[in-house]
Amino acid sequence: MPPLSELQPSTEAAEQGLTQLDAGIEALEQRLANSSQLSGDQRRHLEQQLTDLKQQRKRYIEHQGLSMLSLVGGPAYTPELGTLLAIGGLYSFSTDRLEPELQRSSVGAFFLVNQGEGDTGFAVRSKQNLFFDHNRIRFTGELRAGVQSSHFWGVGYQAGERQDASDQTLMKATSLDYRANLSYQISDDLYLGPAFAIHYYRPDEQSIPQSAWDDSNFQAYYQQPLSVGIGATLQYDSRDVAVNAWRGQYLNLELLAYRDGIGSELEFEKGLLDYRYYWPLAKGRVLAFYNALQWSSGDVPYYAMPQLGGMRSMRGIYLGRYRDNSTVEHTTEYRHTFRYRDGSLTNHGMVLWAGLGSVAQHTGDLYHDTLYSYGIGYRYEMQPRMNVRVDLGVSENDTGFYFNFTEAF
């Protein structure tokens, strides 16, 4: 078998080593499949050998910086999309495989077809995490786009509480939402760089519900569907692995200005203060904390307002049911990876979480009305330190079943 500690000089040589590992795994699996003549001790010995070899394969791919592509698909359900079919892939790689300390870059994407309460809809979701130059340069981006029907309650906590989802809140729209930042290391664990966001939301005028016509913000801005913002991000990041941290802290201050000079149809400002802490309790046991404050001012349209809910924020709350000029969220999540008998980590895990949030017109009014969500999830490590996640989130008014790549935070 190829030595794990030896960095192969070329991708071809590294892939040859991986082929040897795969051949060894296949041979052990065949022996186990035809093990009727083996004693219990012999079978357990082979099972341990197979476990060890699979662990070696995972470490080898990570150490050699080899690329991996994993494809998944299946049915799911979210409050926003209803029943859906998701087909997606996770591609991870190293931008320079000769830098052993460089974090693996990843691009995950899902294509969705859903049958909600309106017409059939189509959507794409994508998350990008790219690392360059000994982790000194980092790019993060997230895309949401689609042609779908969804519910719109209006702006403010009371609007989200006023009525249940119905034909009186259902609206079809074409939408695109993309946020990205490019950060450069300026000192140990400190990064600075530009940030960018674009929001596009055009409702189908034949499907605008009464809840939208009753909302003054919607009436003012529904014919101005495009907002473009640029700004800056300042980050402190001591996490061991950005997409699945076991230890460390992350603090992000992001400020964006939306101006007509860069193509925005409306002018306003948005801010984000995001703090995360990861406390390793034991091997494969992590307590993760997420805290986020968002605020905005100016002519902020309903579709670009801070909001709670969805796959990453307050899972179990319908994304956009609660939106306003300010939001705050606090979520605590326990992450548990199961172990083999020898103490090494398996590919399987679970999580439990609970969160508290609030929306308000002014930051000083946050926490006057509070929201909660909680849930349980399953994790499967498809690639080194990169999970596919299945989460069931519950809140007072909604329930969500989420299927995605990498952790929520």
Span 199-208, mean pLDDT?
95
CATH of span 70-405: 2.40.160.50
The least confident of 25-39, 258-272, 289-303 is 25-39
> Can you give the pLDDT at residue 287?
99
Interatomic CA distance for residues 337 and 284, integer angstroms = 5
Note the pLDDT tens digit of each residue in 167-197.
889 999 999 999 999 999 999 999 999 999 9
Please write the tens of the pLDDT for every residue from 66-80. 999 999 888 877 777
The residue type at 81: L
Crossing angle of helices 40-64 and 11-33, rounded to 10°: 160
pLDDT given at position 1: 55
- pLDDT range class, residue 2, cuts 50, 70, 90: low
Q: Percent of the chain having pLDDT more than 70? A: 98
Query: Is the Cα dihedral 381, 385, 390, 393 positive or negative?
Result: positive
What pLDDT is recorded for position 118?
61
Task: Supply the pLDDT for residue 256.
Answer: 99
Q: How many residues does the chain have?
A: 409
SS3 of residue 367 by DSSP: coil
Phi, psi of 299 (to 5 degrees): -85, 70
Q: What residues form DSSP beta bridges with 171?
A: 150
Question: Are β-strands 322-323 and 285-298 bridged in parallel, bridged antiparallel, or unpaired?
Answer: unpaired
Q: How confident is the model at residue 340 (pLDDT cuts 50, 70, 90)?
A: confident
Query: What is the average pLDDT score of the chain?
Result: 93
d(CA 387, CA 407): 7
